[in-house]
Chain A
């Protein structure tokens, strides 16, 4: 039995418990590859882009950019090859949704890839799989091989005349290679350092060619949109954020795991009803709603729909939908320590603010946790994180600054207590 099956399933995760779903035969037996056949044989690339645009699908990789719009940036009459990249470098702490899709629904992802490639006129797709996801890469490679043999991929994909191939490449375990241009650098064999924009990947992407980079889950939605139409998709989720998504819940909850639920499902519903709340009679202290880079919310602010338009009002974002729950024994300064340590470790180091800021934030948090902080350090934390925000090549510095701002905004008393007592007042919290 696969150990990480979702607790709640929807159209994305239906059948993932069934072992033969990973095979071409099993996928076809459950209606798979029909959407791609329809798209490639009966629709034009513009039709597909229009459908996806009309569906309102937002990228599920963290930034929430409208997928149809992203596809529309691709040249319609390129003077050479264009590429699609499937970003399977899932490395946001708290996120583990793409792994399930890669391991249990590889053909669904591949079908989304083929449709997306057709829509963007890409002749090849590079699937960049996080290095640690070796099993996912193995499973996915088998599925690609099956599709090549069956003529689903190749010079005449699904007999449509559209030629396409898929190449699976493996990363080496850097968070920054999940940033789309850091990924492209790594894909091309260089150190994973994000590229300055302009040019954007749709102009100059992989190997100097126009490229679209889409997240695994994003592409997995596409066959369903093509099969059922944009209206069906818009019938799920909220008006601005349609569809379901895979929420990954971890931390101090009774039932950690994946939950496929419509966007707009309330955070407290996910934490308490679906995930069973905090075990051991303790209370929730903080919840990070969308992976480690998103600002945390305090217990009193969980009555928020999980969609960007609502979370934005609370000063945070959906991110990758990775929900991290922390109970009332948790020291938020320690959380800040591990968070800033992570971003310090993973910063590629190009941009001044990120390279120096991530290190400084971590050193500050650590000193405060040791009991050697002073009141002025809180202002420095605030100012340094402000200096990092919105000023760098990629969004990594924001991702490093936002959580610190969130901790300071909602849990300032934890920081102040450390300074006042000159020690950590949470002896029962997790060890650093």
Chain B
């Protein structure tokens, strides 16, 4: 492996990388070695146009752009010399010549690379007295993204994203020189399943998502790491939290899992966390057949009683459990403990299959399908068969994926069950037939470990508290197991 020296620091680099890539590989870029850049992005091809990443390389005359200069063994790079500093200041001054400086009303303010680098590398004063270019401030590029042409610094990350990553190529640069503007091609909208990534990679406030635009000032956001639960890819996201609520997901780079991107559906799935159809309270069906809200203890008592009665009367063989692929390994382990205590063998995974693509979207719609399979939750078909044929008396259901048309479809087949215990995050048709419904927590509210489709185990911590009393599924299951334990232990002793 070649070694280069950057500001006196030895960095081992891979052959064929550029200086900027090598620094990124080593985890030093903007985190130990500051080489500011706009057009370069780890997930896109080198563009070399913003010219901010210029560095001095001994033996090469003039300044070199770090993004496109291949490393060579023994190369000596300086990133803090006067020449580099002057060049950066020059670029920053020029980038601001036409910038509208409308930071007070700009959504990007606070997480804007133009602000950050102007502060860090630019001059304190402005020398231009010339009129700035007046352009369109609110260009709808498609259903998800709005463009402010005045703020754009023409780094072309968005253009390249649509050409290189999605292959859809909706964006281009119209006109030339200082009249250049980002545009969609005539008759074309920026409308693809990954379109909102362009807002993530836009270093300035030119591209904003309609979803997050003007929702909250970003300095009120606390960015916490999370994982998207939409599919088995397990894309890494940042949860932007303000006022105790997740306000947005943005892509969190993880080159082993999702690179720098997330799909639009996953990005918007943060809405599920504070959705109006969240289960907010435990529900217990009374003698009169009506489902009423109840305290958690009451619901747990009811569930314990029903499960005990069922096992006493029919034995554990008439009880089964179906687990959602959204559950964490911790939830699944707790479910397994409960089932073991009850002596229940029949356990399956309700995994919804859908569309996938070549980029990120996985056909398995559950972030922990692999984890569930590894924990012994397999094909639900035998259980579904027995449900349809009336061969089961009781069922514990986590999540409501079994209502998906490819699985059970309607809850009608559950009508004949003597006991149906539901543990879920969102309301569903299961309420029509359930005896006890207990609200659980979304991944963002409990954290845990998940295994993605490639077998990568990922752990996240809780990012928010649920806005209503909800208990992590693992804890609910453990409490159930505990409540059922003495009697079962005794029953076991009798046998």
A interface list, Cβ under 8 A from B: 174, 191, 196, 198, 344-360, 363-364, 367, 376, 380, 383-384, 386-387, 390-393
Contact = CB atoms under 8 A, between A and B. Distances in A.
Question: Interface of chain B, helix or strand or loop or mixed?
Answer: loop
B90 interface: yes
Interface of B: 46-52, 54, 62-63, 65, 68, 70, 87, 90-91, 93-95, 97-98, 127-131, 153-154, 156, 173, 175-180
A391 B180 CA distance: 20
Contacts of B62: 390-391
A356 B87 contact: no
A222 B177 CA distance: 36
Contacts of A174: 176
B78 to A, nearest CB: 16
A349 B180 contact: yes
B46 A196 contact: yes
B178 A352 contact: no
A378 B272 CA distance: 59
Contact of B90 (A344, A353, A393): A353
A387 B93 contact: yes
A380 B49 contact: no
A264 to B, nearest CB: 27
Nearest to B179: A349
Contacts of A387: 87, 90-91, 93-94
Given A345-B176, A356-B178, 14 more contacts: A344-B177, A349-B177, A355-B177, A356-B97, A359-B97, A359-B177, A364-B130, A380-B127, A383-B90, A384-B94, A387-B87, A390-B63, A391-B90, A391-B91
A310 B475 CA distance: 86
B118 to A, nearest CB: 13
A380 B127 CA distance: 8
Contact of A196 (B63, B68, B173): B68
A359 B97 CA distance: 9
Nearest to B131: A363
A32 to B, nearest CB: 41
B95 A356 contact: yes
A358 B177 contact: yes
A352 B91 contact: yes
A243 to B, nearest CB: 28
A104 to B, nearest CB: 33
Nearest to B93: A387
A359 B180 CA distance: 12
B178 A349 contact: yes
A121 B259 CA distance: 42
B344 to A, nearest CB: 63
Contacts of B68: 196, 198
A391 B63 contact: yes
Best-buried of B70, B127, B176 by chain A (most CB within 10 Å): B176
Nearest to B62: A390
Contacts of B153: 352
Contacts of A344: 177-178
Given A344-B177, A355-B177, A360 B128 contact: yes
A364 B94 CA distance: 14
Given A357-B94, A360-B130, A364-B130, A352 B176 contact: no
Contacts of B129: 367
10 contacts: A349-B173, A349-B175, A350-B154, A351-B49, A351-B50, A353-B91, A359-B178, A387-B87, A391-B51, A392-B51
A347 B94 contact: no
Contacts of A347: 176-178
Contacts of A390: 62-63
Select the residue from B93, B153, B178 with max chain A CB neighbours within 10 A: B178
A358 B47 CA distance: 21
B91 A355 contact: no
B130 A352 contact: no
B72 to A, nearest CB: 12
Given A344-B178, A347-B178, A384-B94, A352 B50 contact: yes
B61 to A, nearest CB: 9
B46 A198 contact: no
A348 B49 CA distance: 11
Given A346-B177, A359-B177, A352 B49 contact: yes
A358 B65 CA distance: 21
Nearest to A354: B177
B54 A391 contact: yes
Contacts of A358: 177-178
A383 B127 CA distance: 11
Contacts of A350: 49, 154, 156
Contacts of A367: 129-130
Contacts of A384: 94
Contacts of A354: 177
A349 B70 contact: no
A232 B239 CA distance: 75
* List of 7 A-B pairs having minimum Cβ-Cβ separation, nearest first: A387-B90, A359-B178, A196-B48, A347-B177, A356-B94, A363-B130, A349-B180
Nearest to A343: B177
A367 B49 CA distance: 29
A172 to B, nearest CB: 12
A266 B83 CA distance: 37
A355 B178 contact: yes
B46 A349 contact: no
Contacts of A349: 154, 173, 175-180
A298 B54 CA distance: 35
Nearest to B70: A198
B171 to A, nearest CB: 13
Contacts of B65: 196
Nearest to B89: A387
A226 to B, nearest CB: 34
